[in-house]
Amino acid sequence: MKFDLDHIYIEDACRDTPLARRILSRADAVAPISFVADGREVARPQPGVADSFATGKRRMVVMRRRSPFLMACPAGSAKFACCGYLVLTLASNCPMDCSYCFLQEYVADNPGLQIYANYDDAFTEIDKLSASAPARHFRIGTGELADSLAMDSLTGMSIDLVNFFAARENLTLELKTKTDEIENLLRVDPRGRVMVSWTLSPRRVFEASEHGTASPAARIASARGLLDGGYRVAFHLDPIVVYPEAERDYVELLDELFAIISPAKIAFISMGGLRMTAGLRAAARRRFPKDAMLLGEDVLAEDGRYRTFAPMRIRLYKILADKLKSAGTAVPSYLCMESSSVHERVFGAAPMHPAEAGERLALR
Ligand code: SF4
């Protein structure tokens, strides 16, 4: 997959970084390039533009990250059963455009497609964390504020990342994507320490809502390719959208997956229902007024997000959890951003402590 860019801006201070040099050597045919003193100026919404979030996706800004790279997953809180995931922010915004994407609200004031050139500092942060708890195993992912691989053919960052994690025993890198950009990954040896995960949706959701992404079949084929290349693979059914044919479509999706990848080879499959703050719901419906997937029966939940009516989403979770349990080898699964009580109703047991859950998932 290759994404169109309108312009590439490179911060002066990043001009001589390996990332900028790689982009400069490849970008001639991609988009015009300018140098700027402060990337934050061009990452902001541009005046007079109707959909500045959409245009931001096409304006790449290579810049320094001024805040820490590593943080606890923002989905984790006292309210939710948590998987102990740590987020590494190497980029912000995404060239694809899913109608339900939380970035529509989260980076509305900062929509440029930012790639952080000082990612050596991220490696220093990770080494410090790891040295502070040598007996622990950390699962660290880059796919929170950006797709992990969408721009990889231009940036080549995945090669440095995989090489860094491959050399460290107590770390697992999780790259999360909706693309089939796997060429760079196939050039390096992850030594079993890198997991690549794909969000999977039924074709009906893909066609209605996941604009610019690789098809579900292409995502599964990429996973197969990386599995053969020594990577661990995992999947996220997230967001799960409830619509009239959803039960049949999601079960069929798992059947399609298991026909290509044996359940025994899958590290885990997470599940999470469609959830939207009022601000995100308004932005999504304004930008995608024809997307029926955004118009399901939702109610305002205790956490201030609109969610599918609980009995409907729990029913679908249970059907899928049963399917995973009976898949020959049971596939580990967890719920994202759901309470312990929902977890118990779906799996019949309380969730593990976040740190334990994180370590188990990292080591699968
Ligand atoms: S692929 Fe992920 S980050 Fe990109 S638009 Fe879709 S949901 Fe957002």
| Alpha carbon distance 293, 139 (integer Å) | 32
281-314 residue pLDDT tens: 999 999 999 999 999 889 999 889 999 999 999 9
| Rounded distance between C-alpha atoms, residue 336 and residue 199, angstroms | 13
Residue located nearest, by CA, to atom 2 of ligand 1: 147
Task: Please give the average pLDDT of every successive group of 10 residues along the chain, which has 364 residues.
Answer: 90 97 84 96 93 97 97 59 78 98 97 98 94 89 94 96 96 96 97 97 98 98 97 97 97 97 95 96 96 92 93 95 86 89 87 59 60
Q: Residue 36: enclosing H or E segment and its boundaries? A: strand 33-36
How many whole angstroms from 57 Cα to the centroid of ligand 1?
11
**Do 98 and 210 touch, CB atoms closer than 8 A?**
yes
What distance in angstroms lies between residue 350's CA and the mean position of ligand 1's atoms? 30
Mutate to test the pocket of ligand 1, among 98, 177, 336 (most ligand atoms within 8 A of CB): 98
Ligand 1 centroid, distance to 169 Cα (angstroms): 30
Ligand 1 centre distance from Cα of residue 179 (Å): 10
Residue nearest to atom 7 of ligand 1 (CA): 101
Indicate whether this model's pTM tops 0.85: yes
Q: CB within 8 A of 187, min separation 6: which ones?
A: 159
- Please identify which residue in the block is written with the tokens 């995404």: 94
Pocket residue to mutate for ligand 1, from 3, 51, 53, 94, most atoms within 8 A of Cβ: 94
Report whether residue 220 contacts ligand 1, using a CB cutoff of 6 Å.
no
Instruction: Give yes or no for residue 178 CB within 6 A of ligand 1.
Output: yes
Nearest to 53 by CA among 12, 10, 113, 115: 113
Question: 101: Cβ below 6 Å to ligand 1?
Answer: yes
